[in-house]
Structure 1
Amino acid sequence: MSIYFIHLFLEAFVISFFTSFACKNHSVYKILISAFVGFIFGYIAFYIINYEKQNRIGLIIADSVLIISLLLVFLRNIKIFAISSVFLIAFACAIRYFLLSANFVIFESNLIDTEGVLNFGFILLAFFICAVFFISFVYSTKHVKSKISILIAIILALMFINECLAELALYGMKTRSIGALSDSDALLSYIGKSKHYAEFYYYICLILGIIYVGLCLKLRPKYTQKQGDFDIVYRQNKNLTSTINTHFSITFILSVLAFIIVLFYDLVASKPISIDEPLVIAPKSKTHFEFELDKVSDGKLHRYAYISSSGKKIRFFIINRFAGKITPVAVFDSCMICGDLGYILKEGELICVACNVRLFLPSVGKAGGCNPIPLNYEVDEKNNKLLIKVRDVLDGENYFSEVVEIEVIDPVNQDKFLNSKAKKSYMYKGINYYFSTDESYEEFKKDPSKYVSSNDNAPFRLNGYQS
């Protein structure tokens, strides 16, 4: 949900700060109208860009316009430049915001749900905070005569100009439209660093915003002793101090709130979901894994892993499909389409970590789609056991990419060593074999069937189909 706040906040902050900055010697009303009209035109431009499916070009246009407008805004003493720069800033930021949030639907259906309301609430919160910032920024701009305020504006302008230039340079490299610079390591390093540091712009903007409004604190007059009941100067000083304190206090509190939301997004909400660590197990016998039916039918996801002879960590899990009944199903913790990032169970739904698809539990165990790859199993109700053949688990070796360090045996000379120390490796019938010498590797390649069983094989995950 906080991503909806993130999408709007930075663009709205740029509009609120530079709109207030342009109001120094002009009517706030006229400048604000210019920003509003610019934002409306930005939305119309986004609609056209999105309809024509030219989002990349649209972002380049918006970044180019933002660079120009951030330079023009420092000519704020000239009315035409103040109004036009604010119009262009709002225009560019509107396009950037709508392009960024285009794939994030607020309400997932025609019905108003709780999550949709919260999503919309975060958008309103970002707008409200930036609107209050605008009021405080205007007050500071109108009353503070300080080189520090100009310096803050320059820093903010350079930050966003740099971000836009990096985006333009990246586009130029991809399209080879900037000639010899397309292969420049220095340019690539600049783009990478610019994009990395842009992630901290939220925090920098909040800090600089507090400082900008905080400059007003030095305008607070020192109280003189009250000369009488109708001392006008004393009352004016008291009112001015109260106004300045109010602006700073509200800005500070809202900045802290925004800081917490952004920090939560960076540390928690933006982190991809991941699976819990599987329990590494060994078979109960040479041929089967055994599981207690009661334990694996409790409605939880029971994730296990078996390490193959080549060191592959083969993950599978057992889950109950119907609540209140003993209906377990065993599947590989991998998808034919999405790969081996695995699945998690949340609020009665099985979720694919790779694509975030929600799966209906009764469908688990069926082949096709984003369902986990089926694993053969047997239910022994008489002995309260769920049985899985070791051979069936090993068939899933190539559905997974993780390799752990284990001791292996060279199939030719029978040397024992760690797979990570192998001189060479060779895949035969889907199984990796490791060799301690180049000689044994070459010997194995001549006739693999001489050294391993012809029944040993593992299918591949290829183009969504098992082969």
Structure 2
Amino acid sequence: MNYYIVFLLQAILPISLLLGINWLSYQNIKLKSIIGLSLLGLICGVMGYLQLPTNQQIKLGLNLFLMILFVLFYLVHFFHSSKFAYFCQFMLCLAAGMLWARDPNISAITNTDVINTDFILHLSAVIFALIFCFLFAFWLYLLLKQTKTAKKCTALPFLLISLTTLFLLLPLTGEVLLGLMKLQVIDLTKARLSFVAKSSNLISYTNYFIAVLTALSLIFFTIKIHFANKAVVKQTHQPIEKRKKLAILQTSQRTLLWGGIALCTMLSAQLYWDQIASRPPQLSEAKVVTLDKQNRIHIPIEQVKDGKLHRFVWIASDGKAVRFFIINRSTKTLSLAAVFDACILCGDQGYVMEGDQVVCVGCGVRMFIPSIGKPGGCNPVPIEDWQQTDTDVIISKKSLEDGLNYFSTIVELDVKDPVDGTTLKNTTAEHKYNYAGKTYFFANEQNLNAFRDHPENYVAKEENP
């Protein structure tokens, strides 16, 4: 739900700011006309974008169209015309719809055939965000109208529209450059690719950018308008006139209050997404297990038969961490599965248990628990040749070594050079050699060569110090 709020705000909040400035051109605001034009523009933008082919020529043309639209609006906003303001209202909402339609996850709303809980939540989030954007535009209009009436902060609309237009143009310019390079109209260069990457990354900071502009507007308004209104009220003593001034002061107070609420709302939504909602689930702590003298791991069945995901980790001789988990796949009988905490498709991001479901962290797919232990899809990679006795799950070293290639985490270990006994760190040692299934580390190349020539001498020495 938070996703749809945040990403709709990213697409439409800058347009809402431009709309708030555009409304200053109206002589008399007709709310029904504005709402109708806004909805019509949004629907046309979304549906039009979704119906168009997705080839590079069309994408390039749309990006150029949006760039031209924002530049023209910036130029014509200096000429206050009520009729032209209605046209700008429609075109800006059309652009907002096109920008939002680029979200690949919009299909969860536009292409759904079933009205379920997820669809209702997603649609509610979209409606809330749209209402917020409209109210934000109206709030900004009221703020700017008060500054215009007071003939103070007259440069504020110019500052807001200039910065917002520039912010909108930068990612579009990057996308145009990328499209031209893909179509081989211009050469692909390192500098151009760098600009494309950096400008495209700006989109993720849209809500923070609008929040900064909102905060600046509130600061300017407080200093230039609200404090001035307070001073006027204190200086006015005639009762009727003072009531009029108090009404103006209360209006400015409400403007500040609603601006603060808007600022908190957009920041809260974005921060919640960045810090919580967008982060993958955290893996539970893995219990470290070691091999016995027969190079096997024993895990008591009593510890793993409760139907929960029990995660373990075995550290190989080179420090590679091999994670695996054991789970009872049945609620009625004992049906254990021992699998690596990784899959062929998503790598070693692992699995978490949410409620009574096992979820792949990499792609969010929910596992059919009875199928865990079988190969294929996003199922965890099975551990081969593990055994189950009446009391223990037994996994051999060889079975665990089969999973080494699925993991990338290296644990720092203190290791000894088998030749001269020097203590080293496995993560910093420059020389290593694998012999008889174990990795040995060396302080220098001479020790490595000595071991490689006669490893049996040093292995025997290490085993019988």
Q: Does TM, normalized by the shorter one, top 0.5?
A: yes
Distance (whole Å) between structure 1 residues aligned to residue 431 and residue 185 of structure 2: 44
Residue 347 of structure 2: which of 332, 339, 349 is its match? 339
- 1:96-245 alignment runs, 5 A limit: 96-103=99-106, 105-106=108-109, 110-145=113-148, 146-179=154-187, 182-185=188-191, 187-212=192-217, 215=221, 217=226, 220=229, 222-223=232-233, 224-227=236-239, 231=240, 233-245=241-253
Amino acid in structure 2 at the alignment position of 1:126: A
Larger fraction in helix = 2
Listed as ranges, the gaps of 5+ residues in structure 1 are 453-467
CA contact (8 A) 1:107 1:113 kept: no
Structure 1 contact 309–408 (Cα < 8 Å) conserved: no
Task: Give the superposition deviation at 1:446.
Answer: 11
Aligned partner of 1:24 in structure 2 is: 24
Which residue matches 2:90? Answer: 87
Q: In structure 2, what residue type is equivalent to 1:237?
A: K
Query: SS at the partner of 2:312?
Result: strand
| Greater displacement, 324-333 / 362-371 | 324-333
The separation in 2 between residues aligned to 1:336 and 1:429, in whole angstroms, is 27
Stretch moving more, 56-65 or 133-142: 56-65
Cα displacement string for residues 74-96 of structure 1 (whole angstroms, at most 9, x for unaligned residues): 32215376454443332222111
Corresponding residue number in structure 2 for 1:259: 267
SS in 1 for 2:209: helix
- How many matched pairs? 440
TM-score normalised by length of structure 2: 0.81
Cα pair 2:337 2:373 within 8 Å, conserved: yes
Q: Secondary structure at the match of 1:161?
A: helix
Counterpart of 2:274 in structure 1: which amino acid? D
Residues 1:58 and 1:434: Cα distance change in structure 2 (over 3 Å): farther
Identity of aligned residues (%): 27
Unpaired segments of 5 or more residues in structure 2? 149-153, 460-465
Q: CA deviation at 1:58?
A: 5.3
* 1:262-319 deviation line (CA, Å, top 9, x unaligned): 1111111111234234222102442321112111112321111112233322111111
Give, in whole Å, the separation in 2 of the partners of 1:253 and 1:67. Answer: 31
Bigger mean CA deviation after superposition, 16-25 or 79-88: 79-88
What is the match of residue 392 of structure 2?
Answer: 385
Segment drifting more, 399-408 vs 102-111: 102-111
Tell me if the contact between 1:332 and 1:396 (Cα under 8 Å) persists in the aligned partners: yes
Counterpart residue type for residue 53 of structure 1: T
RMSD: 3.7
Give the superposition deviation at 1:64.
2.7
Partner-residue secondary structure (3-state), 2:257: helix
CA distance in 2, matches of 1:258, 1:121: 17
CA contact (8 A) 2:299 2:393 kept: yes
Task: Find the counterpart in structure 1 of residue 151 from structure 2.
Answer: none
Q: Distance in 1 between matches of 2:250 and 2:431?
A: 77
Change (3 A) 1:165 1:245: same
1:403-434, Cα deviation, whole Å (9 max, x unpaired): 33446688999998554455556789998776
TM-score normalised over the length of structure 1: 0.80
Q: What amino acid is the match of 2:11?
A: E
Give the structure 1 partner of residue 2 of structure 2.
2
